[in-house]
Amino acid sequence: MRILVIGDSCLDVFVYGEIERISPEAPVPVFKPIRKTENDGMAKNVKSNLEALGVDVHIITNDEDIRKIRYVDERSNQMVLRVDENDSCEEIDNDVLKYVVENKFDAIIISDYCKGFLLEEDIQYICDNCDNVFIDTKKKLGDWVKGADFIKINHLEHLKNYDVIADYPELEEKLITTQGSRGCKYMDKIFPTQEVPVKDVSGAGDTFLSGLVVEYVKTKDIVKSIKFAQECTTIVVQKHGVATI
């Protein structure tokens, strides 16, 4: 199984510390760092999850050093601040796009965090010229995604796109909407998820997407794939930080 991941990536940094008092200078907590973890995020987190599932993964992503730094209270596991550094990147080169469509992959995952690496026309070019294209995008949907096989969005993104979906009814059969603890929705059917103690949902969408694509390539059954993706997500939300399966 050869899967291509294409999209924006970053470094996810978690700084865990103690909060015991409020600053006398302003109504903000005083944070004392204790430890720090770092791991690849966004498109590279999709890659890491695919590799954990034993897949041969190829990735095309930005060179810029985008960082998401989260400050977390060690005691409560509550995130108190997120700092995004270098939050944009250069657009993908046209020659690289040609490479994507000229090579054969079992599936292509577009992990678009809207940092500038992929424009709408870039995504449409891939969708129109490749098979088994799965999209996870922060952009507002439009006719440029009609060539995709499936589109994963979360509940808030679905609300943001509600009017667009009415204009493009053909998108309904492509949309897979994750709804956190309430499960997942596809073609007006709700797929409930197992209730577990949640420690961190950061990167859970990447894990869902990875599990979904791997199982679909194996079975060509989207219902089985959704259920497997939910099993994968249930594992990672019980871990701290951005975790893999």
How many Å separate Cα 19 from the centre of its chain? 30
pLDDT value at 219 more than 80: yes
pLDDT in tens, 41-87: 999 999 999 999 999 999 999 999 999 999 999 999 899 999 999 99
- What's the Rg (C-alpha) of the chain? 19
The angle at the Cα of 204, spanning 90 to 187, to the nearest 5 degrees, equals 100
pLDDT value at 237 more than 80: no
Which pLDDT does position 197 carry in this prediction? 67
The two three-digit tokens of residue 76, written as one number: 């409560």
The stretch 225-239 carries a mean pLDDT of 87
pLDDT in tens, 4-43: 999 999 999 999 999 999 999 999 999 999 999 999 999 9
